[in-house]
Structure 1
C-alpha cells in the first residue's frame, strides 16, 4: 500500500497532545492522525456527530424546562408573599418611621447574612424544606390508623 506524504501545520498544543497520545498508545503520530482522519471522513461520522448533538440539545432542553418551572415557582412565591405582606402590614405612624427604618435595615442585614450562609453551604433552603416535608409525609404514612388513634386517645393502651 502506498501512502501520500503531507506536510501540515498544527497548533503547538495539538502537537503536544498528539505526541502524548502516540506515546501513550505506543503508535506513531502518523497512525493517530490516520485513524482520526478516517473517523472524521467516515460516512457514520456525521451521524455520530448529529446523535451527540441531539443528546446535548435534549439535555439542554430539559435543563431549560426545569429553569423555566423553577422561575415560575419563584415568581408565584414572591407574588404571594408580597400580597400577604401588604395585606397584613400595618402602616407605621409618622413618629415611629425612623425606628422602623432602622429595624428594617437591621433585619435586611440579617437576611443578607443568612442568604450568604445558605449560598456558601451550597444547599437550597427550598430543597431543605422540601426534604423535611417529604420526610414528614413518609413518617405520617408509616403510622397506621390504629397508631394514630392510640396517639390521640387519652386511654392507656394494653
Structure 2
C-alpha cells in the first residue's frame, strides 16, 4: 500500500498502555506518533546496527569501570603488602612472658578496629575523602 493510512487494532497489557500514555503525555505527543516511531525504529534495517553500537558503548563503559576497579584492588593489595613488610621488619619479637598480655591486647585492638571499620563503612568518611582533604590541606594553592 502506498500513501494513505491503514487502521490497525492492537491489544496492549494494561501496564504497557499506561506507560505509553504517560510517555505520550510527558513528550506532548500522540500515542499513535510514539507507536509509529517505535515501529519504524524496530523495523528499520539499521536498527541492529544501532543496537550493536549502543551495546558496544555500554560494554566499553563497563570495561573501563572494571579496569578502574582492578587498578584500585591492585593498589590496595600493594599498600597492604608494603605495610605488612614494614610492620614485620620493624616489630621486634615479644619475650615469652609478654605473649599472653600481647594476645589480650591484640584481641581488644582487633575488636576496636572492626567496630571502627563498620562505623566508617556505614557512615563515613571514606579513606579517599580523607586523601582528597589531606591533599587540599597540604597544598593551599590547590595546584
Same fold (TM over 0.5): yes
Whole-angstrom CA distance in 2 between matches of 1:22 and 1:139:
52
3-state DSSP class of the match of 1:43?
A: coil
- The equivalences for 1:56-71 within 5 A come to 56-71=58-73
Contact 2:136 2:142 in 1 (8 A): no
1:127 is displaced (CA, Å) by: 4.2
Contact 1:118 1:125 in 2 (8 A): no
Aligned to 1:38: 40
3-state DSSP class of the match of 2:101?
A: helix
Aligned to 1:117: 119
TM-align CA RMSD: 2.7
- The equivalences for 1:77-96 within 5 A come to 77-96=79-98
Q: Which of 74, 84, 88 pairs up with 1:72?
A: 74
Contact 1:22 1:32 in 2 (8 A): yes
1:7 is displaced (CA, Å) by: 3.5
Q: Which of 18, 21, 33 pairs up with 2:20?
A: 18
3-state DSSP class of the match of 2:92?
A: coil
Q: Which of 44, 49, 52 pairs up with 1:50?
A: 52
- Specify every segment of 5 or more residues in structure 1 that has no aligned partner in the other structure, as ranges: 143-158
TM-score by length of 1: 0.71
Task: Using the TM superposition, name which of 75-84 and 86-95 deviates more.
Answer: 86-95
TM-score by length of 2: 0.77
Distance 1:23 1:71, change over 3 A: closer
- Specify every segment of 5 or more residues in structure 2 that has no aligned partner in the other structure, as ranges: none
1:96 is displaced (CA, Å) by: 2.2
Whole-angstrom CA distance in 1 between matches of 2:120 and 2:96:
36
Q: Which of 3, 6, 10 pairs up with 1:3?
A: 6
Question: How many positions carry a matched residue from both structures?
Answer: 139
Distance 1:38 1:12, change over 3 A: same
